[in-house]
Structure 1
Amino acid sequence: MTTAYIETPLGIACLSGDENGLSSVSVTKDIEKIEEQQEAPPYLEQAVTQLQEYFEGRRTHFDLKLNPSGTEFQKKVWKELLKIPFGKTVSYLDIAKRLGDPKTIRAAASANGKNPLWIIVPCHRVIGSDGSLTGYAGGLWRKKWLLEHESPSKQQSLF
Structure 2
Amino acid sequence: MNSLLKLSSILLLSSGALTAHAASQSVTVNYTLTVPTACTLSKAGTTISKSIPVDGTTVNETFDVTCNVDYTISAKAKNASSGQLNMSVLQNSSGSLALPQIPYNINFSALGLPVPVNDAAGLVVPSTPIATPKTYTLSASSPIVTGMVSTLPAGDYTDEVTIQIAY
Q: Determine which structure has greater relative contact order: mean sequence separation of CA pairs < 8 Å that are 6+ residues apart, divided by chain length.
A: 2
TM-score normalised over the length of structure 2: 0.25
- Bigger proportion of residues as helix: 1
TM-score normalised over the length of structure 1: 0.26
**Who wins on radius of gyration, i.e. which is larger?**
2
